[in-house]
Copies of this chain bind each other. A is one copy, B any other.
Amino acid sequence: MDGTAPFFGGIEAGGTKWVCAVADAGGEVLATEVIPTTTPETTIGAALRFFGGHPPIAALGIGTFGPVDVRPGSPTYGRILATPKPGWADVDVVSPFRAELGVPVRLDTDVNAAALGEWRRGAGAGLGTIAYMTVGTGIGVGAVVNGGLVHGLLHPEFGHIRIPHDTGRDPFAGSCPFHGDCLEGLASGEAMRRRWGRRAEHLDDPSAWELEAGYIALALVNLTYALSPERIVVGGGVAKHPALLPAVRARLLTLTAGYPGPPVPAGPAAMDEYVTGPALGDRSGVAGAVELARAARSEAPASW
């Protein structure tokens, strides 16, 4: 470094696209590029070329689809674990960047990165405990608790919780290759595509969206009672359907049934503040990845 303010890099490494960004020292994104996710070699190579075409960065943050080994010090740190995505199991998404760019790399899940992005710069700014849920091809949750992202044995995999499934109303057996009718198996974009025979963005049947809202509301009941978040930010492609979040909020009020009462949202106005879309739109994840990079160079807690 020559003493000028450093630049930072971020990658939201998704299952269908990677979003790469270079940001200034304050985290403001200066340039982005969207790369389709193909083979590991091609995708990682394109990301490396993006960073090669910009001023050198001081650190890189990566928020990746998972499951992924996010445990610093683990011999398999940075590797994608049991993914159904062809070619990506066991791929190390950290080492190529560390080797080629020669900078610290901090890794987390895409949803933890998105939670961090919204907490630092978006809908969770100024709050304590927040959760970010993506409802897209898959379902995942990231969360900030006590000033850091949630980790433990590994990282949350909230898409795989079990929720009530009324097989009389919805005989679809679920799309999850591991669990069948877990949350993701019932309510992800992939589940909708397989249940209805078309992609969510082409689905207009109100009963399809009513069913979907019911499942997402059950997920948010469980998230509410598990973490007591101050806000839940819901992003992802499926969540963009304009009918979804209003129906989820109404159903969530019914399901919580006023328990335990305020300060947990007990009316429509409070619920509008409690369940929101992402303030950063489609850029929560990459903004959080940049924050991971900034944290790699600062005194921020090791947990993010």
Given the complex of chains A and B, what is the CA–CA distance between A229 and B161 in angstroms? 14
Given the complex of chains A and B, what is the CA–CA distance between A179 and B259 in angstroms? 9
Contact residues, A153-204 vs B (CB, 8 A):
153-165, 178-179
Q: Is A99 an interface residue (CB 8 A)?
A: no
Contacting A162 at CB < 8 Å: which of B67, B128, B141, B221?
B221
Given the complex of chains A and B, what is the CA–CA distance between A259 and B158 in angstroms? 12
Contact residues, A232-255 vs B (CB, 8 A):
255
Contacting A150 at CB < 8 Å: which of B71, B164, B228?
B228
CB-CB under 8 A from A160, the residues of chain B are 221, 225, 259
B260 lies within 8 A of A228 (CB): no
Once A222-B161, A226-B156 are accepted as A-B contacts, the answer to whether A259 and B150 lie under 8 Å apart by CB is no
Q: Is A146 an interface residue (CB 8 A)?
A: yes
Q: Is A53 an interface residue (CB 8 A)?
A: no
Q: Is A261 an interface residue (CB 8 A)?
A: yes
CB-CB under 8 A from A179, the residues of chain B are 255, 257, 259
Interface size on A, residues (CB 8 A): 53
The residue on B at minimum CB distance from A157 is B225
A218 lies within 8 A of B263 (CB): no
A123 to chain B, nearest CB (A): 15
Contact residues, A117-176 vs B (CB, 8 A):
128-130, 141, 145-148, 150-165
Q: Is A66 an interface residue (CB 8 A)?
A: yes
CB-CB under 8 A from A261, the residues of chain B are 67, 81-82
Q: Is the interface of A mostly helix, strand, loop or mixed?
A: loop
CB-CB under 8 A from A227, the residues of chain B are 150, 152, 156, 226-227
Q: Is A267 an interface residue (CB 8 A)?
A: no
Given the complex of chains A and B, what is the CA–CA distance between A162 and B186 in angstroms? 15
Q: Which one of A130, A146, A157, A179 has the greatest number of beta carbons of chain B within 10 Å? A: A146
CB-CB under 8 A from A150, the residues of chain B are 129, 145-146, 227-228
Once A66-B260, A67-B261, A226-B158 are accepted as A-B contacts, the answer to whether A129 and B151 lie under 8 Å apart by CB is yes
A71 to chain B, nearest CB (A): 7
A110 to chain B, nearest CB (A): 14
A5 to chain B, nearest CB (A): 29
Contact digits for A58-102, partner B, Cβ 8 Å, 1 yes 0 no: 000000001100010000000001100000000000000000000
Given the complex of chains A and B, what is the CA–CA distance between A263 and B161 in angstroms? 18
B222 lies within 8 A of A157 (CB): no
Given the complex of chains A and B, what is the CA–CA distance between A260 and B303 in angstroms? 21
Q: Is A48 an interface residue (CB 8 A)?
A: no
Once A146-B146, A163-B164, A259-B179 are accepted as A-B contacts, the answer to whether A264 and B226 lie under 8 Å apart by CB is no
11 A-B interface contacts by CB (under 8 A) = A66-B260, A67-B259, A145-B146, A145-B148, A146-B146, A153-B229, A153-B230, A157-B260, A161-B225, A162-B221, A226-B226
